[in-house]
Amino acid sequence: MNDWKDKTAPSVIDFFSLAQDAFAGLPAAIRTAAGEVTLHVEEFASEDVLQSLGIEDPFELSGLYDGINIIDRSVLDPTPVVSRVFLFRRPILDEWSERSDVGLGDLISHVLIHEIGHHMGFSDSDIDALLDLGE
């Protein structure tokens, strides 16, 4: 049995490093298509974000895409909006602690791929179907 009494959860910096590793591990075509998307790690989504999505429990949101997806962009748009992917550390750690079938790096990759899918213009059901094909 593992001795967990001296273990701690990864810090935000360590978590960000895991997220960067997950991004680097994606196929080159996906990384290229993701383009200028920036990656952010925060403990939880802000109250404003949760309210705008109608979410009461901050543990229910593990990731978020913020920007205009590449399908809906136009060269006529005045100023390009920076596309951002947020990974919320505490909800992801909470989900990971409840599962024994997935490593933390794999869970972070799953959430990251989901949010990059939104950047590419896919719906939740499209993303879920694509992720199911890969399993």
Report, as an integer, the average pLDDT of 12-31: 90
pLDDT over 60 (residue 1): no
CATH number at residue 87: 3.30.2010.20
Q: What is the count of structural domains for the chain?
A: 1
Q: Which residue has the higher pLDDT, 15 or 133?
A: 15
Q: Residue 70: pLDDT band by 50, 70, 90 thresholds?
A: low
Is residue 113 predicted with pLDDT exceeding 90?
no
Four-CA torsion 45, 47, 48, 52, nearest 10 degrees? 80
Instruction: Give residue 82's identity as a one-letter amino acid code.
Output: V
pLDDT of residue 76: 65
- Is residue 75 domain-resident? no
pTM comes to 0.83
Q: What residues make up the domain containing 31? A: 12-66+81-134
- Give how far the C-alpha of residue 40 lies from the chain's centroid of Cα atoms, to the nearest Å: 9
Per the domain annotation, does 52 fall within a domain? yes
CA distances (Å), origin 60, targets 6, 56, 77, 118, 122: 28, 8, 33, 18, 21
